[in-house]
Amino acid sequence: MTSPLRVIGADRVDIEGDQVSLLITRCLDCASSWFPAREQCSRCGGTRVDGDRISGQGTVYASTTVHIGAGAFPTPYALSYVDVEDIRLLAHTRSVRPLAPGTPVVLVLGEVGADGTGALWSYVAVPRTDGEVA
Amino acid sequence: MREVHIAGAAVHPFGKSRGKTAADLGYDAVTRLLTTTSIGPDLIDVGYCGSSYGGSLLAQRVLQRVGVSGQPVYTVENACASGASALHLAWQAVASGAADCAVAFGTENLSGFGGGALPLTTNDIEIELGLVMPAAYAMRAQRHLHDFGATEADLTMVSIKNRRNGAANPRAHFQAEVSADQVENSRPVADPLRLLHCCPNSDGAAAVLVCSSDLAREIGTPTVRIRASVVRSGRFHTSYRDMTWPDITARTAEAAYEMAGVRPSDLDLVELHDAFSIAELLHAEALGIAARGKAHRAIADGEFDRDGRVAVSPSGGLLSRGHPVGATGVVQVCETYWQLTGQAGRLQVPAASVGLTHVTGGGIYGVDNGACAVHILTSD
Ligand SMILES: [Zn+2]
């Protein structure tokens, strides 16, 4: 019997196999998009919002390799800000080297660290070519 | 609104003070302030303390020791802008006529946290994935270098300049110059930032006396005038953000320039929030003292040197002076007070008459920074 994976941010995404899509909110009044999903638009304050699900394909805005870090993540580890449609989010990066701005990536499920209880997983940015994971 | 002046400044030197609490450090700075201005505690109508990690009722714990008890006092938390927010509230109190005399101070002891990056707010979707402040600035740096053609050597030049400035500052945490080799061979923290591209976590405290024109005349110490005092919060959204343009700094500075009737070209000196060397490039551009994407050129050409076009962090900045979070916004104003009253000694910027101080900070997702404060001071 295997215990379920412990995924940081599991409630923010949909996971099928190793593919990750983002659960977002769109405001029906001012058209703002939000991640993680929320019940109220934090731009106009309106509550007329719809949930949506978008694919995890995006582009790296910026990236770094962290040598002095925090939490349960063994150093060095790489982080990237990724633009997925009009959403900007932070994600771990599978390679230890920083990714160049503009690198096309896809978000997949990956192991990012460990604590006393065991492995920790989350959505991880991986470079892609033509929609394929490189 | 009434004219508001600063009639005195005092600092507990920044560095490592392991045996002293934030209250001890604040007490030291406030005691020095009352001594240097020769005023008694009864003259103070209201007190404001800025601190992020000092705990509950820190204002009381400091001020009651010097005899300021019974008056209204407040402890203000706004991350790196805590001290400047305390000063802003003191300015409001005097400008509105609610008070004639206010003390604003900031104090912090970070030694208790040990080394490494400071603990950030919890329950944040970026922090739970391992984001630390150096990493956030490292990504801004990578993108700025990518977009504008600056290099890691340009980041190193910021550290060299500010460490050179701070080498002459007896209040600075680091009082030694560094070479390009030392910076480039220091330990990597978050690429492209190395240890000597990052400010140290420090202990320290700073205090200023804020008062009305009438009272400033009565006290008789050298004064500077607060021409602008502005605080802004970050604009929250989770969409595309240009991380090479700190919108929070630009908005705060624009409001301050308008309030003061001052243009960026009027400034003789700026004390800037250089928590990381890249921050000087980003914020110099957002403050309007360098063209977009050109701050690294200004530094290379010596325009931000103490005797340059506009002296940027002539006290050494956070990179040299250190960063006791809640004290930084106040010490910047102390340093500028001494500059504008001709008391800066070896740090003196020639003929300085207009200065700006800038702090911004607070790492939470969805904003540039949590809070930013800008003050503009003039010698009359
Ligand atoms: Zn809305």
pLDDT confidence of residue B123: 76
Please report, as a single letter, which amino acid is at residue B188: P
Residue B120 belongs to a domain: no
pLDDT confidence of residue A133: 56
Question: Is the pLDDT confidence value at A131 over 60?
Answer: no
Helical packing angle, B82-96 and B328-340, nearest 10°: 60
- Are B168 and B102 within one domain? no
Which residues of chain B does A93 touch, with a Cβ-Cβ cutoff of 8 Å?
none
Residue B313: partners with Cβ closer than 8 Å, 6 or more residues away = B161, B162, B165, B270, B271, B272, B274, B280, B304, B319, B320
Residue B119 belongs to a domain: no
Query: How many beta carbons lie within 10 A of that of residue B149, not counting itself?
Result: 12
Query: How many beta carbons lie within 10 A of that of residue B33, not counting itself?
Result: 24
- What whole-number distance in Å separates Cα of residue B82 and Cα of residue B244? 24
Position B373 confidence tier, pLDDT thresholds 50, 70, 90: very high
pLDDT confidence of residue B311: 98
Q: Which residues span the domain enclosing B59?
A: 4-113+202-225
- What whole-number distance in Å separates Cα of residue B364 and Cα of residue B342? 39
Q: What does the pLDDT look like over A109-125, one tens digit per residue?
A: 999 999 889 999 999 99
Which residues of chain B does A43 touch, with a Cβ-Cβ cutoff of 8 Å?
237
- Are B263 and B371 within one domain? yes
Q: Which residue of A has its CA nearest to B187?
A: A67
ipTM: 0.95
Q: Does B132 touch chain A (CB under 8 A)?
A: yes
- What whole-number distance in Å separates Cα of residue A115 and Cα of residue A94? 19
Phi-psi region of A17 (alpha: psi -120 to 50; beta: other; left: phi over 0): left
Q: What does the pLDDT look like over A16-40, one tens digit per residue?
A: 999 999 999 999 999 999 999 999 9
SS3 B347: helix
Residue B25 CA from chain centroid, whole number: 17
B80 is catalytic: yes
What value does the mean pLDDT take over residues A62-84? Answer: 95
- Are B138 and B45 within one domain? no
Give the single-character DSSP code of B266: G
- Are B14 and B162 within one domain? no
| B287/B111: higher pLDDT | B287
| Tokens representing residue B335 in the block | 């340093």
Question: Is the pLDDT confidence value at B368 over 90?
Answer: no
Closest CA relative to residue A46, chosen from A62, A26, A60: A26
- Are B165 and B97 within one domain? no
Domain CATH for B34: 3.40.47.10
CB contact under 8 A, A90 and B140: no
Question: Is the pLDDT confidence value at B116 over 80?
Answer: no
pLDDT confidence of residue A71: 79
> Which residues lie near ion ligand 1 (Cβ < 5 Å)?
A 27, 29-30, 32, 41, 43-44, 46
Q: How many distinct structural domains can be found in chain B?
A: 2
- Are B184 and B234 within one domain? yes
- Are B187 and B211 within one domain? no
pLDDT confidence of residue B119: 61
Q: Does A112 touch chain B (CB under 8 A)?
A: yes
Strands (E) located in chain B? 4-15, 46-50, 73-76, 101-108, 188-190, 193-194, 203-212, 224-233, 269-271, 311-312, 354-361, 371-378
Residue B306 belongs to a domain: yes
Please, what's the largest Cα pairwise distance for chain A? 48
pLDDT confidence of residue A88: 97
pLDDT confidence of residue A54: 97
pTM for the structure as a whole: 0.96
What value does the mean pLDDT take over residues B20-46? Answer: 97
Helical packing angle, B133-148 and B277-286, nearest 10°: 60
Closest CA relative to residue B248, chosen from B101, B143, B370: B370
Closest CA relative to residue A12, chosen from A46, A49, A51: A51
Helical packing angle, B152-166 and B277-286, nearest 10°: 90
Residue B39 belongs to a domain: yes
- Are B48 and B186 within one domain? no
Residue B118 belongs to a domain: no
Question: Is the pLDDT confidence value at B115 over 70?
Answer: no
What value does the mean pLDDT take over residues B24-51? Answer: 97
Residue B53 belongs to a domain: yes
CB contact under 8 A, B126 and A90: yes
Residue B142 belongs to a domain: yes
- Are B215 and B236 within one domain? no
> What Rg do the C-alpha atoms of chain A give, in angstroms?
16
| Tokens representing residue B376 in the block | 């503009």
Q: Given CA atoms B268, B243, A76, B192 in this order, what sign does their dihedral have? A: negative
| A50 alpha carbon – ligand 1 mean position (Å) | 11
Question: Is the pLDDT confidence value at B120 over 80?
Answer: no
CB contacts under 8 A, B 143-162 vs A, are 143, 146-147
How near does any CA of chain B get to the CA of A4, in Å?
19
Question: Is the pLDDT confidence value at A1 over 50?
Answer: no
Q: How wide is the angle at C-alpha B337 spanned by C-alphas B331 and B341, nearest 5°?
A: 155
- What are the angstrom distances between the C-alpha of B331 and each of B14, B106, B246, B358? 10, 8, 23, 11
- Are B208 and B331 within one domain? no
Residue B85: partners with Cβ closer than 8 Å, 6 or more residues away = B50, B76, B78, B231, B329, B371, B373
In this predicted structure, which of B120-124, B155-159, B330-334 has the lowest mean pLDDT? B120-124
What value does the mean pLDDT take over residues B302-306? Answer: 98
Phi-psi region of B362 (alpha: psi -120 to 50; beta: other; left: phi over 0): left
- Are B219 and B78 within one domain? yes
User: DSSP secondary structure string, A40-62?
Assistant: S-TTT----EEEEEEESEEEEEE
User: DSSP secondary structure string, A9-40?
Assistant: TGGGEEEETTEEEEEEEEETTT--EESS--SS
Helical packing angle, B247-260 and B277-286, nearest 10°: 50
Q: List the single residue in B116, B117, B135 with the smallest CB-CB distance to A79.
A: B135
- Are B170 and B281 within one domain? yes
